[in-house]
Amino acid sequence: MNKFRARVTLPIVHAIADSARFARRLARSLEAPFAPVRTHPFPDGETLVRVSHRAGVEAILVQSFDGPDRKLMPALLVADALRRAGARRVTLVAPYLAYMRQDSVFRSGEPISQRVFGECLGRAFDRVLTVEAHLHRTRRLGDVVPGRARSLSAAPAIARWLARRGGGAIAAGPDEESEPWIRAVARAAGVRWVVGVKRRLGDRRVRVRFPELPRGARAVVIDDIASSGATIAAAVRALRERGVRTVDAAVVHAIFAPGALDLIRRAGARTVVSCDTVEHPTNMIQCAPLVSAALGSAR
């Protein structure tokens, strides 16, 4: 009877189709039920959502925000539907959280997109969890999203993948900003690390320099996000120019604009892998266990 009661109190994990794979992994890790969200598109472009939820039970919505403009409104509608269905609490798990770069007004007439997006989610959900929010001058996700919000580090998951690749590899960060993160990955994986100096020349033009490295070494360029691919490609090229024999690349969020993956490969990357925060053929590193552990500790 006690086991039955314990299972009744488990949250129900929900997701729209484009985030269902991560949601199913998370549900398995939590040993919780999964309930897909049904959607119906209207001819005028609006979306109807329909959920199946049990009153009095916590709801977890999994929604990754690659392509955020088309995904935000359905997520807000699901949050409302879950509350009307009697959810005790509604948690958003956003493996990838968009609009975190614009944390200031850089030119007159611009918004602070980070604040607008974060406040919108904070009003709709009781708590928000994401993986490696792309924060620069903002210290905590809770400063952006009102209420309970947390950005989880993907360093442990990447470190486990890196450790399985065998010893001798060098973890390489493309810029000084990545140093704390690269150091954490390298220490957990038991490998050496190095950080480059980056100079951005434009949206798709980047130059990276690394210090002297042992010729013939192996390196893995690690970054939190790949969009244009320019930064990772420049880092791969710079390492090859330093005499590094084999260079791989690992990213958390595989946004990959058209042509980005080819750009990285042409620069000399042998393999390119990513975490599963954004569904992509390069997904090799699972983050659902990290999220599951965080949800369990916060209950």
Q: What is the C-alpha separation between 35 and 266, in angstroms, rounded?
A: 42
Closest to 81 in 3D by CA, of 56, 53, 104, 108:
53
Helix (H) or strand (E) holding 296: helix 288-297
Q: Which amino acid is at 110?
A: E
Q: Does the active-site annotation cover 198? A: yes
Neighbouring CB atoms inside 10 A of 36's CB total 15
Residue type, 234: A
Q: Where are the alpha helices (DSSP H) in 17-100?
A: 20-30, 68-84
List the beta bridge partners of residue 209: 197
Instruction: Report the distance separating Cα 258 and Cα 196, nearest Å.
Output: 26
Give dist(CA 114, CA 279) in Å, integer.
23
Per annotation, catalytic residue among 25, 53, 198, 253: 198
Residues involved in catalysis: 198
